[in-house]
Amino acid sequence: MENQERTDRGDRPEVVRVTVDPGICCFICSISAWKDGGQVRFNIQSDCDQIKELALQLGPIRMKELFVSLTKSPVFLSAEKSKCHLACPIPSSLIKAAEVALGLALPKEVTIRFLTQTPML
């Protein structure tokens, strides 16, 4: 963690921590994101092989990379290379954590809740 911004908490950067329960796969993911100059770095922990690969693929991202299309986003490009499932919530959680780490958003929980399991006819 070289060249990290110093905060009022001492020499350590402020770290945003997120836990993601992606649902039926049960591979809970822990994300830590912190500002390092004009970019965000991540520590991603999961038992999912695709998310482990995503963690290896994804380097630091710059603020401007949070405002590009999905097809140009380093987060979503890394997710695609890692063969993440299309509905996996981890990539969007990385974007949200980066926004908070950069001070672009407030830390507010996101929820997807299925209200019914009625089969379609």
Q: How confident is the model at residue 61 (pLDDT cuts 50, 70, 90)?
A: very high
Q: pLDDT value at position 121? A: 66
Question: How far is it, in rounded angstroms, from Cα 3 to Cα 7?
Answer: 12
Q: Is residue 54 part of a domain?
A: yes
Q: Is residue 23 part of a domain?
A: yes
Q: How confident is the model at residue 117 (pLDDT cuts 50, 70, 90)?
A: confident
Q: Is residue 112 part of a domain?
A: no
Q: Is residue 46 part of a domain?
A: yes
Q: Is residue 76 part of a domain?
A: yes
Compute CA distances 60 → 3, 32, 108, whole Å.
13, 12, 23
Q: Tell me which residue range forms the domain holding 46.
A: 15-101
Is 115:79 a contact under the CB 8 Å cutoff? no
Across the chain, the runs of DSSP E, i.e. the strands, are 15-20, 29-36, 39-45, 61-62
pTM: 0.85
Q: How many domains does the chain have?
A: 1
Q: Is residue 8 part of a domain?
A: no
